[in-house]
Structure 1
Amino acid sequence: MSASVHPLRPRDAAPSLSPLLALCAPGLHAVNTVILERMHSPVALIPELAGHLIAGGGKRLRPLLTLGCAQLFDYAGTRHHKLAACVEFIHTATLLHDDVVDGSDLRRGKATANTIWGNPASVLVGDFLFSRSFELMVEDGSLRVLKILSHASAVIAEGEVAQLTAQRVVATTEERYLEIITAKTAVLFAAACQIAAVVAERGNAVEAELESFGRNLGIAFQLVDDAIDYVSDAGTMGKDSGDDFRDGKVTLPVILAHARGSEAERRFWRDAMLGRAAGEEELRHATALLHSSGAIDDTLARARLYGARAIDALASFQHGAARDALIETVEFAVARAF
């Protein structure tokens, strides 16, 4: 497929999630009802801690994708409401665990749960949400759905472990990096979209198209996240700028800048990723190198490529409000960098 078949919206057109939110408003209300019901527990800390993150300003992008993809088929059932909530629980559980692993202080501009309640509580509530997600999968009664979402959960965990083993390893290849972000981010996007085809009973070929749409969107989304970690601020990102740098996360901008650098610049990157030179002055120097080497621009160019691939994956679907909203969602994911 040619990435130029469906060119992304020009930067000045300000794409947003508004069309998808408007299209899916009734369904999202039903999903939020399920989330609130299934967060409930007689152990008061569980809904308190989980609610801190779930109600903390997230876009509900992954469950919205489930709802939006179901709209492609004018699906009139309600199975996807519980499954979209399931997807959000999986995502929230991984965020709780990620913040513990990373020692993060901010998430969506608010103090992280582990900062407020401590690491043990965050890990255990994350486990609770994973368990709730599997209850919802089983209640749906489809072995196909169970296979897709349980496999995604396993792959996400593998991706997080892979990222941990690649941390501070500046020799990480671009290929390995793409494998990691596909596992830790894109697989859940893919599953969220694919299950809409399952509940609408559209068959393997349509499932594959929506899986491709979600996977390519997820890769584009993560590429943009990794780029803007160096060029945005806490108000925009909801986390501190340069967190990846301080944590020694070898993301694509670093991989590209290291590969293109002089011996002195390569030595800087090795020291920085090992934590020997990760202060504010070093962050400013790193950001300058990322720009001068073209690493940021090329990371965003790759994001646009994967975004175009996601749009291409919708080529066979009927033109209409649902398809248009999903296309604009891709454009929004990429445009966050500008």
Structure 2
Amino acid sequence: MNISTVSKPHEQLATTLAGEMAAVNELIQTRMASEHAPRIPEVTAHLVSAGGKRLRPMLTLAAARLCGYEGEHHLRLAATVEFIHTATLLHDDVVDESAQRRGRPTANLLWDNKSSVLVGDYLFSRSFQLMVETGSLQVLDILANASATIAEGEVLQMTAATDLKTDESIYLQVVRGKTAALFSAATQVGGVIANASDEQVQALYDYGDALGIAFQIADDLLDYQGDSKATGKNVGDDFRERKLTLPVIKAVAQATADERTFWERTIEKGRQEEGDLEHAMALMAKYGTLDATRDDANGWAAKAKAALDVLPDHEIRTMLRDLADYVVSRLN
């Protein structure tokens, strides 16, 4: 696919699903209101109005339409997915002590940590109310499990991020928690609510899982070789924040004794000096870990596309395939 000659896949999805997304946005506005605590809609509106592609709720709508759904419960599920995502962002910014998201001050900076945590809790509660309204225990099971997996992934990341014993399997576990769990749940519940076959529901799960992993690996790679204007991050932010992501994990696995001492000082102990980022980049170049990481991202994108083969031949399926290509096209 020639990305440059067509509109972006998520924009195509947004256009195709515009009517349903408008209904989801209206539902989000209604359910984030609070009669007794006006700070809740203030904090939520700040994050919701900051933009973002709304990719996760669109995945739920896309999966439901792909499987022929004609009811309205998919709107509640899409709003649920967005609430879970927004709640995790509020909590993450507190944990990471972030000052900016999507180019705007974070809620915890504008208000305080307590407000961010409690409003996040409120959104989680709202999300479970929406799930229950679908009357599907299977949907409740999927999204409840995803919420637990997300929290588990965040806690694991806290301990694994600066530990040089973190290997690729632990990294993958973190990525499945912090990113892929909500992608896979978003697509899976769209199939469940449409009464798709077990094979199709599994395919939707596999697609979301692989797409989420490709998405996160690509993000981690762009931290070291992306365009700061495009990514909104400075090159090497993850290194400065002592985050063990896949390019570094691959370099540590092949490090000599002296190189391991360097990684221990800069990542585990956090004693970074002038020129350390450049040296880290040189070590990654030495072992070809940036190229290897790109290959991994492309591999997961290919798995995502392959998972769609058992699903109906439909324009949505083509868009979902293109979306998997687009996620990794940023690396080329």
The two structures have a TM-score, normalised by structure 2, of 0.94
Equivalent AA in structure 1 for residue 218 of structure 2 = V
Report Cα offsets for 1:78-122 as digits up to 9, x if no partner: 110111010011011111111111112221122221222121111
Which residue of structure 2 aligns with residue 105 of structure 1? 99
- Tell me the distance in 2 between the aligned counterparts of 1:26 and 1:275: 51
Is the Cα contact below 8 Å between 1:311 and 1:327 reproduced in 2? yes
Cα offset, 1:282, TM superposition: 2.1
Cα offset, 1:240, TM superposition: 4.3
Tell me which of 123, 128, 131 is aligned to 1:129: 123
- Tell me the distance in 2 between the aligned counterparts of 1:291 and 1:116: 40
Tell me which of 14, 21, 39 is aligned to 1:21: 14
Tell me which of 309, 317, 320 is aligned to 1:315: 309
Equivalent AA in structure 1 for residue 214 of structure 2 = A
1:75 match: secondary structure: coil
Equivalent AA in structure 1 for residue 80 of structure 2 = C
Which residue of structure 2 aligns with residue 120 of structure 1? 114
Higher relative CO (Cα under 8 Å, sequence separation at least 6) belongs to 1
Report Cα offsets for 1:262-312 as digits up to 9, x if no partner: 332222211111243335632233233323422122111101101100100
Tell me which of 246, 249, 252 is aligned to 2:246: 252
Which residue of structure 1 aligns with residue 136 of structure 2? 142
- Tell me the distance in 2 between the aligned counterparts of 1:271 and 1:11: 41
2:15 match: secondary structure: helix
Equivalent AA in structure 2 for residue 75 of structure 1 = Y
* Equivalent runs, 1:6-17 vs 2, <5 Å: 9=1, 15-17=8-10
- Tell me the distance in 2 between the aligned counterparts of 1:36 and 1:233: 34
Bigger shift: 327-336 or 227-236?
227-236
2:308 match: secondary structure: coil
Is the Cα contact below 8 Å between 1:20 and 1:329 reproduced in 2? no
Which residue of structure 2 aligns with residue 180 of structure 1? 174
Cα offset, 1:13, TM superposition: 5.8
- Tell me the distance in 2 between the aligned counterparts of 1:337 and 1:106: 24
Equivalent AA in structure 1 for residue 229 of structure 2 = G
Is the Cα contact below 8 Å between 1:23 and 1:68 reproduced in 2? no
Tell me which of 81, 84, 88 is aligned to 2:78: 84
2:310 match: secondary structure: coil
Which residue of structure 2 aligns with residue 301 of structure 1? 295
- Tell me the distance in 2 between the aligned counterparts of 1:276 and 1:166: 14
Cα offset, 1:48, TM superposition: 1.3
Q: Does residue 168 in structure 1 map to residue 162 in structure 2?
A: yes
Which residue of structure 2 aligns with residue 4 of structure 1? none
Report Cα offsets for 1:38-60 as digits up to 9, x if no partner: 11113222111111112212111
Structure 1 residues 85 and 234: alpha-carbon distance in aligned structure 2, compared to 1, 3 A threshold? farther
Equivalent AA in structure 2 for residue 133 of structure 1 = S
Cα offset, 1:337, TM superposition: 2.7
- Tell me the distance in 1 between the aligned counterparts of 2:236 and 2:272: 9
Which residue of structure 2 aligns with residue 39 of structure 1? 32
Cα offset, 1:10, TM superposition: 5.7
The two structures have a TM-score, normalised by structure 1, of 0.92
- Tell me the distance in 2 between the aligned counterparts of 1:113 and 1:137: 26
Percent sequence identity is 47
Structure 1 residues 76 and 280: alpha-carbon distance in aligned structure 2, compared to 1, 3 A threshold? farther
- Tell me the distance in 2 between the aligned counterparts of 1:10 and 1:259: 36
Which residue of structure 1 aligns with residue 49 of structure 2? 55
Tell me which of 282, 286, 293 is aligned to 2:280: 286
Gaps of 5+ in 1: 1-8
Question: How many pairs does the alignment contain?
Answer: 330
Equivalent AA in structure 2 for residue 189 of structure 1 = F
Q: In angstroms, what is the RMSD of aligned CA positions?
A: 1.8
Structure 1 residues 199 and 90: alpha-carbon distance in aligned structure 2, compared to 1, 3 A threshold? same
Bigger shift: 196-205 or 218-227?
196-205
Cα offset, 1:323, TM superposition: 0.6
Cα offset, 1:73, TM superposition: 2.2
1:134 match: secondary structure: helix
Cα offset, 1:261, TM superposition: 2.9
